Structure 1
Amino acid sequence: MPPADVDPLAAAIAPPRDESPHERQSRVLRELAAKQVSDDIDDILSRERQQAKRQPKPVKILLLGQSESGKSTTLKNFQLMCEPKAFRTERASWRAIIQLNVLRSVRIILDAISLASSSPDQPSPRSSYSSRDSLRPDPDLLALRIHLYPLLELHDTLSRRLATPDSSSSSSSEDAPTPSSLRPPPLLSIFRRRAGGKELAVNSNVAWKTAFMRDGSNRDSFSTDDVVDWDDAEDPGVLLHERADDLRKLWAHPTVHAILDRQGIRLQESGGFFLDELDVVTSQRYVPTDDHILRARLKTLGVAEHRMMLTDPNGSITREFRIFDVGGQRSLRAKWAPYFDDMNCIIFLAPISAFDQTLEEEPEVNRLADSVALWTSVVSNKLLQDTNFILFLNKIDILQAKLTSGIRFADFVASYGRRPNDMDSTTRYMRKQFVAISKDASPVPRGLYCHLTNAVDTKSTQYVLLGIKDMLMQSHLKQSGLII
């Protein structure tokens, strides 16, 4: 034990007493080299700090809203504007997601046919059919179901490949194919049961986009052939193309639509609906368009941060944007609070088309009512009193289709009363309700930017830019003392 007056740190770093001249020279050289590395790192950090001081602070945006409100589509709109090359290189993986969306729709239909043929049930409250209507599948439809069963196995294979991209046989063209029995199982949380089928949900930290991308996707000279492996023996497009005629017959069969209606299933309202475009998505060498990628549905779990440089069309804003996408399920909302600090803007998405739907996790809760309650909770939060809000009353295209089909808004929103059941009246009513909540519940007065948007509205990014441009100007004026 060293004496009390000896510095233990000095004793620990002191050179060995029996150190030879050669050893001392080597030690000194190592220490000098280590010090040089440390100094270089300090210089880099210092330059980065100085550069950060000269540049404007990044704009931090938080995307909020219930599950399936359109947050991922909004994020893809930003990526399409800011990172077009990266967006193009990801087409191969989005192609797989679209194929998975088609397969999931097929699974839902086949499950509905099986239910209708085995145990006819009472019609869903959302159905226009009475319990007296007989909707047993005919022999042709049952034969189609049997012929399309291989697509269910393809659905599960695609899901495993996306859930565990590192184990995918497509990760290297030189790797030998891994037998399905030896592949690692998907993550335990990867599937969530939904009515009529399973939905793939990937963790934000899983590099699922690499599952179907080839090495050539990183080259400066880019073409679609660089990212899609057309010779891949496991490419799901091959089987989808072979079954294209049967898929078209299935979706065109009148009994299918009657069965879905009887069970309250509306595939057209779901994210990732592509059955009306089977000719395109099942074609040989299919490559998704930007519009298809925006409509593709993939559920993500966890919190993801996306950084990008964004310039508005007039060139007046060139800033780094940091966009945080958080899960919208009720079980995940408790994790939102840590992201409320130091946010410049919150984009809140309320899918007003969901007025006749309930939450997946709590079927007794109306989705529109949940959005209203969630909006009230967020705008009244004192942690967010200095945060600007942009409100998207989203999915108005689906709302229009529902109203046109005869679904009455007042049947699900009692306070709507006897107002006309048309697009203009319902959207005006909902805008007024959300704006009033913001005015009454906000801890301090603040402006609100409110827009009607559809599920794949590429103009939504422009709305955000205009709103943020105004917000930054207001902030500068307040700092200058020109406004209070």
Structure 2
Amino acid sequence: MDDWPPPVRETAAQRALRLDEEREAKRVNDEIDLALEAERLERQKRKVDVKILLLGQAESGKSTILRNFQLQFTPQAFRAEAAAWRAVIHLNLVRSVTFILNLLSDAPSSPTTRTRAYAPSRPSHATSLSHSTGHGHPDFPVEINAGDYAHAPAPLVHMTDELRRLCMRLSPLRTVEAGLAQFLSADSESHPRAEPAHRVTERAFEVSVCPGSKWKALFGPAPHPTALADTRTSQRAHPPHYEELEDARRVIEACREDMVALWQDETVQESLKNHSMALEFQSGFFLDEVDRIAVPGYEPSPSDILKARIQTMGVEEHILKMETVADNGQTWGIYDVGGSRGQRAAWIPYFDDLNLLLFLAPMSAFNQVLAEDHSVNRLWDSFYIWNTICSSRLLNNVTFVLLLNKLDLLDAKLKAGIQFRRFVTSYKDKPNETDSVVGYIKSKFSAIYKQHSPPGRLLRVHVTCATDSKATSIVLERSEHCFLLAPH
């Protein structure tokens, strides 16, 4: 646009230069306006009607609850991600196998050598949580053994020639595991760290992905058969890295019978027991379902996706557009905040404008310690976090929902003979039965809540198994109702 009036005695060259500069200035200004408008629209799009925060220690089940939210309220979007979760489930399966291979790799060929591994030592003393431990820990109405994990010799296990041949046939799964792990974490700053083959740890290594859905975007829906028949369109029909994923799938299918044989092998079960390792109690365990998963055309069921395990680093923000009739059009923002000690400092900024706080406490972790600190019992850590958030004034007007999670694993551990009172000494001589233990844990969380909460704040307590989609859907419906009844 020409300036008016134009400069006096402006030459033609000067005028051309001025007009070029004005056009460039207008272009830059228009770009800024477009960027500001795009930012405004993005903010508007991200504005949510309901803000929900998921809190709890690492492996408490937060991500599984989030998937339950997606299954319950955005089922179409949930089903669209099945291809991505198939790769995660295959990785979960393979890493359980390679974990066993690593455990057996140092097994003696003759009964003369001992292997060593991480195994829980019997706690030699109790730490009373009714007194300060010197680290600023609050008062708790519970006493928990301060057991730790130490190197301990495992009893001898003789590895037969047949088992050695079986392990050799399964060795290609190591390459599959490495490839899937690298593929899933391709956008992550921190890549998965596998333990060396000669070192035995208490669990299979974790694969970490960055927050967001980048890793899911690497996968596309399976190509339609008619598209595959047309060689001109087959390349476009395949999702990215389709051939690499197909190669991994074919190896897994070829190893199906050997994986079944490995898990059913008496020597393997004896070795796991001797090392105090129960893979079936860990997240992402699929070794007991190999015949269903390691087959052509396998499509993950909702239950499979809920069971799958992948570690997310940082804060996961999920904006869910409600698809159900009752909530159609509403937008929910659900924030899954990392639960490890190093990530808890990031929680406070998410307390602002919060409607509903879901805290997950894994009851089955009573005999486990934090991965980042083997001196801290995980159940005690859940009490500690609960005490902290109940005491926060920033949450005085927020509705609380406490999910006492992993009921199925707690029940399995107690039925396997693991004594709750060995780790929670204040439980004393009460029955080692699920109902009694659940009631005890619930009463302690309730006592902490009553001690540190302002009058009138709402609390709902549910006992859950997050991988049970039907039971959890009822809890989520009640939580939604709880929010609707809460004062705003």
Quickly name the TM-score band, shorter chain normalised.
0.7 to 0.9
Deviation for aligned residue 1:155? 0.5
Task: Give the conservation status (yes or no) of the 8 Å contact 2:117–2:154.
Answer: no
* Residue in structure 1 matching 2:291, options 257, 279, 303: 279
**353, 362, 372: which one aligns with 1:361:** 372
Query: Unpaired runs of 5+ in structure 2?
Result: 123-151, 196-200, 225-236
In structure 2, which of residues 122, 147, 156 is the aligned counterpart of residue 134 of structure 1? 156
- 1:294-333 equivalence runs, <5 A: 294-310=306-322, 315=326, 319-333=330-344
Deviations 1:83-115 (A, max 9, x none): 323222221111110010011101110111124
Q: Which residue of 2 aligns with 1:121?
A: 116
Equivalent position of 1:256 in the other structure? 268
Give me the whole-angstrom Cα distance separating, in 2, the residues matched to 1:84 and 1:123.
Answer: 42
Secondary structure in structure 2 of the residue aligned to 1:198: coil
Superposition deviation, residue 139 in structure 1: 1.6
Distance (whole Å) between structure 1 residues aligned to residue 275 and residue 430 of structure 2 = 29
Residue in 2 that maps onto 1:79? 70
Instruction: Give the alignment partner of residue 475 of structure 2, picking from 444, 459, 463.
Output: 463
What's the CA shift string for 1:345-404, capped at 9, x where partnerless? Answer: 111000001111111111121111111111111111111111111110000011111111
1:341 aligns with 2:341: no
Q: Distance in 2 between matches of 1:110 and 1:91?
A: 29
Q: Distance in 2 between matches of 1:132 and 1:41?
A: 63
| Equivalent residue runs for 1:237-248 within 5 Å | 237-248=249-260
Distance 1:394 1:14, change over 3 A: farther
Tell me, yes or no, if structure 1 residue 107 matches structure 2 residue 98: yes
For 2:4 and 2:379, how far apart are their aligned partners in 1? 66
Asked if the contact 2:207–2:310 (Cα under 8 Å) also holds between the matched residues in 1, the reply is: yes
| Equivalence for 2:402 | 391
Q: 2:193 aligns with which of 184, 187, 191?
A: 191
Q: Return the match for 1:209 from 216, 225, 233.
A: 216
CA shift digits 1:164-189 (9 cap, x unpaired): 26xxxxxxxxxxxxxxxxxxxx7444
CA contact (8 A) 2:75 2:323 kept: no
> Which segments of 5 or more consecutive residues in structure 1 lack a partner in the other structure?
1-11, 166-185, 218-224, 477-484
- Is this contact kept in 1: 2:356–2:398, CA < 8 A? yes
> How far apart are 1:226 and its partner, in Å?
7.3
For the Cα contact (< 8 Å) 1:385–1:444, is it kept in 2?
no
Name the CA distance, whole Å, in 1 between partners of 2:40 and 2:183: 44
Contact map agreement 1:435 1:448 (CA 8 A) in 2:
no
2:154 touches 2:274 (CA, 8 Å); kept in 1? Answer: no
Aligned equivalents of 1:46 and 1:91: distance in 2?
Answer: 33
2:53 is aligned, of 62, 72, 79, to: 62
Contact 2:399 2:486 in 1 (8 A): no
SS at match of 1:273: coil
Closer, same or farther: CA 46–431 of 1 in aligned 2, 3 Å: closer
Q: Is the 8 A contact 2:73 2:324 kept in 1?
A: no
Q: Shift of residue 15 of structure 1? A: 6.7
The partner residue of 1:419 within 430, 440, 445 is 430
User: Quick one: distance in 2 between partners of 1:241 and 1:318?
Assistant: 43
Task: Give 1:192 deviation, angstroms.
Answer: 6.7
CA-based RMSD = 3.6
Q: Which residue of 2 aligns with 1:222?
A: none
Q: Could you state the TM-score of these two structures normalised by the residue count of structure 1? A: 0.79
Aligned AA for 1:346? Answer: L
- How far apart, CA to CA, are the structure 1 residues paired with 2:458 and 2:156? 55
- The CA distance in 2 between the partners of 1:68 and 1:338, in whole Å, is 22
1:237: how far off? 1.2
Q: Is the 8 A contact 2:114 2:156 kept in 1?
A: no
Give the aligned residue type for 2:170. Answer: L
What whole-Å deviation, never above 9, does each CA across 1:109-161 have from its counterpart, x for those lacking one?
0111124336423893479xx97953222221122112211111110011111
Alpha-carbon distance change, 47 to 63 in structure 1, aligned in 2, over 3 angstroms: closer
1:148 aligns with 2:170: yes
2-side partners of 1:187 and 1:316: how far apart? 37
User: 1:251 is aligned with what amino acid?
Assistant: W
Is the Cα–Cα contact under 8 Å of residues 69 and 476 in structure 2 kept in the other structure?
no
TM-score, normalisation: structure 2 = 0.78
Aligned CA distance change for structure 1 residues 191 and 310 (closer, same or farther; 3 Å): same
For the residue of structure 2 that corresponds to 1:365, the secondary structure is strand
Which whole-Å CA distance do the structure 1 matches of 2:223 and 2:296 have between them? 21
Say whether the 8 Å CA contact 1:163–1:202 is kept in structure 2.
yes
CA positional deviation for 1:22:
8.0
| C-alpha separation in 1, matches of 2:304 and 2:430 | 36
- 2:114–2:153 contact (8 Å) kept in structure 1: no
Give the distance between the partners of 2:103 and 2:6, measured in 1 at CA: 78
Pairing 1:377–2:388 present? yes
Residue 75 to residue 227, structure 1, CA distance change in 2 (3 Å): farther
Q: 2:87 aligns with which of 96, 102, 111?
A: 96
Matched to 2:81, the amino acid is E
Q: Shift of residue 215 of structure 1?
A: 8.8
Partner SS, residue 134 of structure 1:
coil
Three-state SS of the structure 2 residue aligned to 1:451 is strand
The aligned counterpart of 1:429 is 440
CA shift for structure 1 position 312: 6.1
Q: Structure 2: how far apart are the matches of 1:393 and 1:233?
A: 37
- Quick one: distance in 2 between partners of 1:257 and 1:227? 39
Cα deviation code 1:208-228 (max 9, x no counterpart): 1133325969xxxxxxx9769
The CA deviation string for residues 389-442 of structure 1, in whole angstroms up to 9 with x for no partner, is 111000001111111111111111111111111111111111111111111112
CA apart distance, 1:454: 0.5
Give the deviation of 1:74 after TM superposition. Answer: 0.6
Q: Separation in 1 of the partners of 2:386 and 2:4?
A: 59
Letter of the 1:151 counterpart = L
- Inter-partner Cα distance in structure 2 for 1:39 and 1:212: 35
Q: 1:229 to 1:279 in 2, by over 3 A?
A: farther
Q: How far apart, CA to CA, are the structure 2 residues paired with 1:203 and 1:47?
A: 25
1:352 counterpart = 2:352: no
The aligned counterpart of 2:128 is none
> Structure 1's 373 and 317: CA in aligned 2 closer, same or farther, altered over 3 A?
farther
What is the CA distance between 1:26 and its match in structure 2?
8.6
